[in-house]
Amino acid sequence: MKAWRFYEFGDMRLDEVPDPEARPGWVVSRVRRVQPSITDAQRALGIGTINSTLLREQLEKHAPVQLLGHEMSAEVLEVGEGVEDFQPGDIVCTSAHVPCGRCIWCREGREAWCEDKLHVGINLPGAFAELIAMPAAGLVKVPKSLDDASVACLQPLSSAVAVMHDVDIRPGESVAITGQGAMGLYILQIARICGASAVYVSDVKEECFALSRKFGADAIINAREEEPVERVRELTGGKGVDIVFECAGGTPDHGLSGHETLHQALKMVRLGGRVMQVAGLVGEVKIDPVFMRMAGIRWIFPEGHGRDTVALGAKWVASGRVDVRSLITHEKRGIENLPEVFEITQNKNKYKATNPCQLVLVG
Ligand SMILES: [Zn+2]
């Protein structure tokens, strides 16, 4: 089969490699569509982010190696001995990790914290290849009615489903979302399913607001023209919202807000409210603990997710409650076009892309 392999960060080549085998407990699938995650887009260039040490180790020990690519839609071709939950023809995606099923966290049902988990595209081969082999425990079967483009978004959607669990949203709570990239737009839709009384969104990119409007935002704040903190205060009678989802922070080199939207979030939230840190911040953050304590603000981080939130997201997409398809603006056909897919995903602002660019292998 053909597979993209990394020889070094920034050096990816399309090689001919042996087809993977369906070992006991494993499943071999044909990749139909795949997209680099935002994290993958940075990792490919060797930019330090989540799991980058592990990735560097793989490269040093095993290069050339089939890295990255965990947001996919694939069709099961062959199952290994002992696999009962999947059969040829099933459409699957992955939860990005494969839990060990034995450690203290797995036994408690918190597979995101598994001490021994394997990562798809890091210490397991990723999906930038014609075929992918994976332990069955990392796969989720999805309804056949879903299109491949949507299925390739289910893993990142599952992160948005998971943060809603972690923030423990209650019906009637008011919500603000900083950032209307893919994650911000997923959270907007899910907050409404969960019964938010109002959802206010902010961004500096006007082109994403058509989707914010389509998905029912109660107020859309263009942070280039209005001061988001003042506007949210005004909308809530001076009180602030119950929950802020911070979805815009991160490296300014990649068009993200640095720590600025976090500081906005801490001022948009009401006394005793929650700020859920969805965006991956880097570097040390300056926080005033006296302010945090006096205002009783809880700044919380996602716990992570597993197959349960992937499956719930799949149901919401299949029933039409959540729309992931409308976010996809760019796709390239043919495995040889992966470099272009990375180029677009790494420079989403330049290409006016909301979702990562997708690579179509079949269909
Ligand atoms: Zn475990």
CATH (domain of 274):
3.40.50.720
| Centroid of ligand 1 to alpha carbon of 343 (angstroms) | 35
| Centroid of ligand 1 to alpha carbon of 83 (angstroms) | 19
| Centroid of ligand 1 to alpha carbon of 110 (angstroms) | 8
Asked whether residue 242 falls in the same domain as residue 270, the answer is yes
| Centroid of ligand 1 to alpha carbon of 29 (angstroms) | 24
| Centroid of ligand 1 to alpha carbon of 242 (angstroms) | 34
Instruction: Quote the CA–CA distance of 306 and 318 in Å, as a whole number.
Output: 19
Q: Which residue blocks in the chain are alpha helix, DSSP H? A: 38-43, 52-62, 104-107, 148-151, 154-167, 182-193, 209-214, 228-235, 260-268, 289-295, 307-318, 338-346, 348-351
What pLDDT does 312 receive?
96
pLDDT > 80? residue 51: no
| Centroid of ligand 1 to alpha carbon of 305 (angstroms) | 13
Q: Which residues surround ligand 1, an ion (CB under 5 A)?
A: 99-100, 103, 106, 114
What is each CA distance from 293 to 22, 100, 174, 262, in whole angstroms? 54, 39, 22, 16
What is this structure's pTM? 0.93
The residue among 260, 284, 300 that closes a domain is: 300
pLDDT > 70? residue 342: yes
| Centroid of ligand 1 to alpha carbon of 108 (angstroms) | 9
Q: Which residues have a Cβ under 8 Å from the Cβ of 240 and sit 6 or more positions away?
A: 232, 233, 267, 268, 269, 270, 271, 273
Asked whether residue 145 falls in the same domain as residue 163, the answer is no
Q: Which of 327, 190, 188, 177 is nearest to 257 (CA)?
A: 177
| Centroid of ligand 1 to alpha carbon of 115 (angstroms) | 5
Q: What are phi and psi of 232, to 5 degrees?
A: -65, -40
pLDDT > 70? residue 49: no
Q: What pairs with residue 11 in β-bridges? A: 8
Asked whether residue 171 falls in the same domain as residue 137, the answer is no
What pLDDT does 4 receive?
97
Judge whether 308 lies within some domain.
no
| Centroid of ligand 1 to alpha carbon of 106 (angstroms) | 4
Judge whether 307 lies within some domain.
no
| Centroid of ligand 1 to alpha carbon of 146 (angstroms) | 30
What pLDDT does 84 receive?
96
**pLDDT classification of 112: cutoffs 50, 70, 90:** confident
Give the three-state DSSP class for 142. coil
**Are 52 and 77 in contact, with CB atoms under 8 Å apart?**
no
| Centroid of ligand 1 to alpha carbon of 282 (angstroms) | 27
| Centroid of ligand 1 to alpha carbon of 50 (angstroms) | 19
**Are 128 and 69 in contact, with CB atoms under 8 Å apart?**
yes
| Centroid of ligand 1 to alpha carbon of 306 (angstroms) | 12
What is each CA distance from 227 to 10, 201, 232, 268, in whole angstroms? 39, 12, 9, 11
| Centroid of ligand 1 to alpha carbon of 246 (angstroms) | 29
**pLDDT classification of 155: cutoffs 50, 70, 90:** very high
CATH number of the domain within which 83 lies? 3.90.180.10
| Centroid of ligand 1 to alpha carbon of 11 (angstroms) | 33
**Are 164 and 191 in contact, with CB atoms under 8 Å apart?**
yes
Please list, residue by residue across 43-67, b when 16 or more beta carbons sit within 10 angstroms of its beta carbon and e when fewer do.
Answer: bbebbebeebeebeebbeeeebbbb
Q: What's the rounded mean pLDDT across residues 103-107? A: 94
Asked whether residue 10 falls in the same domain as residue 144, the answer is yes
**pLDDT classification of 48: cutoffs 50, 70, 90:** low
Asked whether residue 210 falls in the same domain as residue 235, the answer is yes
| Centroid of ligand 1 to alpha carbon of 103 (angstroms) | 4
Asked whether residue 55 falls in the same domain as residue 99, the answer is yes
Asked whether residue 68 falls in the same domain as residue 24, the answer is yes
Asked whether residue 215 falls in the same domain as residue 257, the answer is yes
- What mean pLDDT is reported for the chain? 94
What is each CA distance from 141 to 9, 136, 325, in whole angstroms? 32, 10, 19
Show the tokens assigned to 351.
């290409």
| Centroid of ligand 1 to alpha carbon of 140 (angstroms) | 18
| Centroid of ligand 1 to alpha carbon of 82 (angstroms) | 20
Judge whether 311 lies within some domain.
no
Asked whether residue 135 falls in the same domain as residue 165, the answer is no
| Centroid of ligand 1 to alpha carbon of 309 (angstroms) | 17
Judge whether 314 lies within some domain.
no
Which DSSP state fits 7? E
What pLDDT does 362 receive?
95
What pLDDT does 198 receive?
98
What single string gives the DSSP state of each residue in 219-264?
Answer: EEEETTTS-HHHHHHHHTTTS-EEEEEE-S-B-GGGT--BTHHHHH
Give how many domains the chain has, as a whole number: 2
Q: What is the pLDDT of residues 293-340, one digit of tens each?
A: 999 999 999 987 788 899 999 999 999 999 999 999 999 999 999 999
pLDDT > 80? residue 211: yes
- 10 Å Cβ neighbour count for 156? 23
What's the longest Cα–Cα distance across the chain? 64
Asked whether residue 348 falls in the same domain as residue 248, the answer is no
What pLDDT does 306 receive?
83
Instruction: Quote the CA–CA distance of 62 and 60 in Å, as a whole number.
Output: 6
Judge whether 41 lies within some domain.
yes
Give the three-state DSSP class for 120. strand
| Centroid of ligand 1 to alpha carbon of 345 (angstroms) | 32
Q: What is the pLDDT of residues 224-283, one digit of tens each?
A: 999 999 999 999 999 999 999 999 988 777 667 788 999 999 999 999 999 999 998 888
| Centroid of ligand 1 to alpha carbon of 116 (angstroms) | 5
| Centroid of ligand 1 to alpha carbon of 303 (angstroms) | 15
Asked whether residue 115 falls in the same domain as residue 184, the answer is no
| Centroid of ligand 1 to alpha carbon of 97 (angstroms) | 10
Asked whether residue 29 falls in the same domain as residue 148, the answer is yes
Range of weakest confidence among 46-50, 125-129, 186-190: 46-50
Q: What's the rounded mean pLDDT across residues 41-61? A: 83
What single string gives the DSSP state of each residue in 189-217?
Answer: HHHHHTT-SEEEEEES-GGGHHHHHHTT-
Give the domain range for residue 62: 2-153+328-360
**pLDDT classification of 126: cutoffs 50, 70, 90:** very high
| Centroid of ligand 1 to alpha carbon of 114 (angstroms) | 4
pLDDT > 90? residue 81: yes
**pLDDT classification of 207: cutoffs 50, 70, 90:** confident
Judge whether 322 lies within some domain.
no
